[in-house]
Structures are given as C-alpha cells and as structure tokens.
Amino acid sequence: MTTQEVADKLVDFCRRGKSEDALDTLYAQDAVSVEAMAMPGAQQEVRGLEAIRAKSQWWQSNHEIHSASVTGPWPHGNRFVVGFQIDVTNKPSGRRMHMDEVGLYTVEQGKIIREEFFYPTGA
C-alpha cells in the first residue's frame, strides 16, 4: 500500500471506531508509539504491536467516549498527519475532557512503523 492508501484506511477505521482492525492490518509488528508525555503508570514510548495494542485497550477501558471526530489525512512523503477531536470522560476520575490531538504517522513498506501524538501537556 502507498502512504496515501494507509492514511485513508487509518482514517476510515478511526471514523468507524475500528481501532483493532487498524492495528491488525496497518501496523508493522515492530511499530513504535510515542505520546507527547508519559501518562501516570505508563511509558511515553512503547515498542511493538502488542505493546501498542495493550495501550489502546487500556485507553478504551479507562475512558468513556461521548463523541469523536477525525480530520485529514494530510500526507507528506512517507508520513501523514491525522487530527482527532474527542469528548471523553476518564472513568477513574470522572473528569470530562475535550481533547484536540494530532497524530503523525510514518509508513515503510506499506505499514505504519511509527506514530507520534501531539497535544497540550500543560508543561
């Protein structure tokens, strides 16, 4: 797949709430995921598809999503950017948040090898 095809498929999966399908079909086994900051009890960077899958499962089990939208993708060479706007409640704290986040994805040999997330960190 080309970078554009990977980008279009990722956005489609995200819009349909199919993050597991995206991981299964679009990510390399040795992909890397990097957050803008380390979350409590978690690492800022995780390596490998299973670690990314565990991070995704943690997110889904600890948050109630009220609404979400996805913008993009915007390609640039072998990378692309996707915007995420999410209205979510953190289940353990009960805190409701409106998140605005950007993901930068790098593609090699038709698979996502790196994802980096950008959002306000309060730092």
6: left (phi > 0), else alpha (psi -120 to 50), else beta? Answer: alpha
CB under 8 Å to 121, separation ≥6 — which residues? Answer: 36, 37
Q: Is residue 112 part of a domain?
A: yes
pLDDT tens for 74-88 read: 999 999 999 999 999
pLDDT tens for 11-56 read: 999 999 898 999 999 999 999 999 998 877 778 999 999 999 999 8
**pLDDT number for residue 123:** 59
* CATH number for the domain harbouring residue 25: 3.10.450.50
Q: Is residue 45 part of a domain?
A: yes
Q: Is residue 39 part of a domain?
A: yes
% of the chain exceeding 70 in pLDDT = 99
**pLDDT number for residue 72:** 97
Domain that holds residue 68: 3-118
Look at the chain and report how many structural domains it folds into. 1
Q: Is residue 123 part of a domain?
A: no
